[in-house]
Structure 1
Amino acid sequence: MEATKKLEPIEAAKLFVKKHFPNCQGAVLAGSVVRGEATHTSDLDIVIFDKNLASAYRESFIDFGWAIETFVHNLTTYQSYFQMDFQDAKPSMQRMVLEGIPIRDEGILDSIKKEAKEMLENGPERWTDEIIRTKLYFITDALDDFVGCNNRAEELFIANALAELIHEFILRTNGCWIGSSKWIVRALKHYDVKFTEEFVEAFEAFYRTGDKSKVILLSERVLEPYGGRLFEGFSLGKEKL
């Protein structure tokens, strides 16, 4: 059977919306194809707004030569997703809406894009001193495990956990959004390109050679402005007398 020809992203998105969501009030094409970062495995991310829907849902398709991921909302459900992403400090929905290329618009997209833009520019909720102290403890615990471990298999996964904790700590204490998976590096670059290079270099050196020194130095440098490693005296959940 002959493979379906892959159309240009915008053309495919327009045909897809017309075919599957003909009555929607708005649709935007987002994701890597919009950012100019598409690879041969990239799909199309399309956010749909349909006032007649009772609830939001996500659905995947293969059509017009593309894998297509849809994020389908009515004219209010997207706000709860904005709020969830705000609480997680990972504004994926806001980014999709703001960067998205309009595919269909019956006069609703400007206000939704404005909401997304304001949330992105304001940044996530600032951490309290109590949260910072708790995060210091968990990073200290992971770092101590990393330093003391001599089992290569275990070291790999401790390093993974430490990298996520360090990225979260440096970004949240500086009022920045965080990421997951490939968005960890993207979020770090948005904060500080030089720090990101040092972060990647430190963990790459460990994964390639087993040398922990750069990861340890980087971790301690991140913690130093907040008093360094924290263990003695830390408690969690203890009732105050």
Structure 2
Amino acid sequence: MENSRLEPLIAAKMFAKENFSASGIVLLGGSVVRGEATETSDLDIVVIDCNVNNAYRESLVVYEWPIEVFVHNTETLMYYFKSDCERARPSLPRMVAEGIIIKDNGSCRDLKETARELLSAGPKEWNTSTLMQKRYFLTDLLDDFIGSTNHGESIFIAGSLAEALHEFVLRTNRRWVGSSKWIVRALKEYDREFADTFVDNFDYYYKTGDKQSVISLVDAVLQPYGGRLFHGFSIGKKHGCNE
């Protein structure tokens, strides 16, 4: 069946004109801008309006397009920029940096430059304590995976292990992390060859039930940081006592 929907940019412009004509900045971001759209992709539209008192997000279907609109004033935009970067998942900075300008009050260039600088800088480096914790919890997941004899449980342990492993690899290399489909995309942005190996090893486990390729991958990632960690790990232990 032929798709009769409007082109994404045309739909975004019409949506902005009909709903946000008084707003200062409107951007079209997301997968349609990156050329990664699928049949179920939506239009991600960022609106910056100094007259709104609080940030909000709304989901709509307009012109046969699912639309996700993210509305901010300048202060909330900067707050979410900071929040996204602290959790190492810069969704909003990415949308602003990559976004096609639909409407501009003259300040969009500076906002896009701020977003690009944040993306380029990468997330903060893990401190020693955080690195030890992540190494321990990754070891714990690996032990659960190795010891599990229930196939159903093992499938979901493997999913948690994959997410934790991708985070460990990317954060120790000061790269942004992802979730869901963005796990693979974030790994490919870091190292396409490693991303292929990562996917292949987990895919092999899911198809065959053979855990060894996943175990070897996790051990290879942990090895430069001292390998698996269990004995001697502690959180919150205090020495001595206070009067």
Under a length normalisation based on structure 1, what TM-score does the superposition of the two structures give? 0.97
Aligned length: 238
- Matched residue SS, 1:76: helix
Tell me whether 1:21 sits opposite 2:25 in the alignment: no
Deviations 1:61-112 (A, max 9, x none): 1111211100000122100000110110000101000000000001021111
Equivalent residue number for residue 238 of structure 1: 237
CA distance in 2, matches of 1:240, 1:15: 64
Q: Aligned partner of 1:19: which letter?
A: E
Tell me whether 1:188 sits opposite 2:187 in the alignment: yes
Equivalent residue number for residue 107 of structure 1: 106
CA distance in 2, matches of 1:33, 1:136: 37
Unaligned residue ranges in structure 2 (runs of 5+): none
- Matched residue SS, 2:61: strand
CA distance in 1, matches of 2:103, 2:137: 46
Equivalent residue number for residue 173 of structure 1: 172
Tell me whether 1:69 sits opposite 2:33 in the alignment: no
CA distance in 2, matches of 1:185, 1:8: 28
Alignment of 1:208-223 (within 5 A): 208-223=207-222
Tell me whether 1:98 sits opposite 2:97 in the alignment: yes
Give the deviation of 1:239 after TM superposition. Answer: 1.3
CA distance in 1, matches of 2:162, 2:88: 17
Identity %, equivalent residues: 54
Unaligned residue ranges in structure 1 (runs of 5+): none
Give the deviation of 1:129 after TM superposition. Answer: 1.0
Q: Aligned partner of 1:197: which letter?
A: D
Give the deviation of 1:214 after TM superposition. Answer: 0.5
Give the deviation of 1:221 after TM superposition. Answer: 0.1
Contact 1:44 1:66 in 2 (8 A): yes
Give the deviation of 1:5 after TM superposition. Answer: 4.4
CA distance in 2, matches of 1:61, 1:240: 56
CA distance in 1, matches of 2:43, 2:174: 30
CA distance in 1, matches of 2:24, 2:146: 55
Contact 1:55 1:77 in 2 (8 A): yes
Equivalent residue number for residue 128 of structure 1: 127
Give the deviation of 1:240 after TM superposition. Answer: 2.9
Contact 1:58 1:70 in 2 (8 A): yes
CA distance in 2, matches of 1:101, 1:185: 24
Equivalent residue number for residue 46 of structure 1: 45
Aligned alpha-carbon RMSD (Å):
1.0
Under a length normalisation based on structure 2, what TM-score does the superposition of the two structures give? 0.96
Contact 1:5 1:64 in 2 (8 A): no
CA distance in 2, matches of 1:240, 1:98: 48
CA distance in 1, matches of 2:61, 2:163: 33
Q: Aligned partner of 1:211: which letter?
A: D
Contact 1:27 1:104 in 2 (8 A): yes
Deviations 1:15-67 (A, max 9, x none): 00000111000000001110111111111000001110001000111111211
